[in-house]
Amino acid sequence: MKKKKVNLRDLKPQSKEEHSHDDGHNHDHGDSSSFNTYIPAIISFTMLIIGIGLDYFEVSFFKDWVSIIWYAIAYLPVGFPVVKEGWNSIKKGDVFTEFFLMSIATIGAFIIGEYPEGVAVMLFYAVGELFQNSAVNKAKGNIKALLDVRPKEANVYRDGDYINVSPENVNIGEKIQIRVGEKIPLDGILLSDKASLNTSALTGESKPDTIQKEAKVYAGSINLESVIEVEVTNKFEDSSIARILDLVQNATARKSKTELFIRQFARIYTPIVVFLAIGVTFIPYFFVDDYVFRDWLYRALIFLVISCPCALVISIPLGYFGGLGAASKNGILFKGASFLDAITKINTLVMDKTGTVTKGVFKIKEIKTIGWNETEFMQYLMAMEEQSTHPIAKAILEYKAKGEDFEATEVSEIAGKGLRGIVNGKTVLVGNKALMTSNNIDVPSETESIVESIVLVAIDNQFAGYVVIADELKEDAKETITALHKVGIKNIMMLSGDKDSITQQVAKELNIENAKGGLLPEDKLKEVEILKKNPENKIAFIGDGINDAPVLAASNVGIAMGGLGSDVAIETADVIIQTDQPSKVVRAIKISRSTRKVVWQNIILAFGVKVIVLILGAGGLATMWEAVFADVGVALLAILNAVRLQ
């Protein structure tokens, strides 16, 4: 049942069919911080209380038209948007909506002179909506943040000088310049001798990529060290970052569609109670001797007032409100109540590696020396690495070596191999195996089996040892996998842009049987699409980078690491782990399952009480105040039940 927004519903979390595909992933919650959202309900509530007070004390002037006008004005702020929505639905051929039911019931209350009840019932509906709104007022949920990631200008060489233009206006074959810290705006070939690039946004590779002249570079990569020049090979619309944009938008369009329970229930419930009300009015004519049309019309209208689904409408969002609040206290942000439901159905979990189960920060994993004291060995190495700005150098310099600091002189860089220099009068080589081989230095065979980044060191032409640098596992990574198995998620898969050898090693440590590395964003998306071909698979994906955004959007539930994760991943995801702890995913599943249980308890409670009071109303044994009181009682019980989730 697709609806336009009405004033009281501006902040309501949308079901997935209500997403706008214009921007790829739009959750239009409006300005959730605006006090204006609450003004209609506050006005109606205030006027209702004053009116009831004036009625109770039988104030002389508050009678007849004064009373009618007063309650009509009280009704309008909360009632007009609903009546208008009901009328618009009727014009589209969708008659039996909850808007229609509430409209005829509350207007009927006015017809039979029960003005406070008419206002009260509509006010309860409005309050139910506001409960839901406040639970998700922080959820932005649109993909527009991608526009901030996209490079906004290119420094292109034209007419003997570099000028700034939009990347869309740069032609293939033109030369562009990228300064340190800037994003490469277009795909191309490196014209400079070398470049150090952060490609994690595109590939998920945790280590910055050092490339040589004529190597390919991709839009969205960040230049780390010196000014470089690139020859453009692709138009902007064909660039890597534009492809990711497109992937996200298309993947979002393929998201599964769900409807909130109350919408589906109203399709059946609403026409039944309307026809029953008509029956209450006319059928007694054939069976009752002293039939009075006005009396039975009165009963029918009471029946309609009783049958308004406000208790149901309140009980459902209140349950979700409790779940959303409990999740928030645990550092988990759900972007809408529907995702609390969706995550309970998950049976397949796909995860990224870097930044998700690992910290995304280089640390020394192992130091192996040959013929040297570890401290002295590290002092030689650190003296050399002080001359470098590479992330691996920074990891090595975090080593705390006691004793006198050494100083390196005559340090030179050997392209693609490493560093040569003099430390304490000794020649020191620091780099990869190619550097050692070119200087005729034998390297132990054990280094061949090391998959992580390794720094080899030779002192005075003798191999002195090596240091293994690795991305560290998060403290709760192992317990997360164990806990996921315990909550019934057996199918766990790791997809990473990092080297396959590293990915497989991390997967082995975590006891994940299915893992693939060396994947581009589109490769990750293909893997998830293959899983989705089996309708039995309900997939959640956990990631943190821009490269994860398409898969986050394509999954049944996208989960982003919010502390260190990219803005785009956070905007695209349905669930955000604000503490960056993967174990929070298990907590999110448990909270969601508890929430679903409470919501169904509230539904059964509300529906059960409703049926009892409906029967009493049809028999003339319940007044509208009793019906309203029954709704209030059910709502209070629903609130208390939902509070348990906190």
Residues classed as catalytic: 352
Q: What is the largest CA-CA distance in the chain?
A: 120
Cα atoms in the 13 Å half-sphere on the side-chain side of 304: 31
Indicate the DSSP class of residue 182: P
- Closest Cα partner for 591 from 340, 318, 337? 340
The neighbour count for residue 363, using CB atoms within 10 Å, is 12
Estimate to the nearest angstrom the gap between the alpha carbon of 75 and the chain centroid: 37
Amino acid type, 353: K
What are 565's two structure tokens?
A: 């994760």
Rounded Cα gap, residues 281 and 231, in angstroms? 81
In sequence order, which residues have a C-beta less than 8 Å from that of residue 422 and are 6 or more positions away? 408, 409, 410, 428
Q: Look up residue 423 and give its two tokens.
A: 């430390």
How many Å apart are CA 62 and CA 158, to the nearest integer? 81
Residues in the chain: 646
Q: Where are the beta strands (DSSP E) in 566-644?
A: 575-577
Rounded-to-integer distance, Cα 488 and Cα 348, Å: 10
User: What is residue 455's three-state secondary structure?
Assistant: strand
Rounded Cα–Cα distance for residues 44 and 121 (Å): 11
Q: Which residues does residue 222 pair with via DSSP β-bridges, in sequence order? A: 183, 198
User: Which of 113, 106, 118, 104 is CA-nearest to residue 65?
Assistant: 113
Using CA atoms, how far apart are residues 363 and 361, in angstroms rounded to an integer? 7
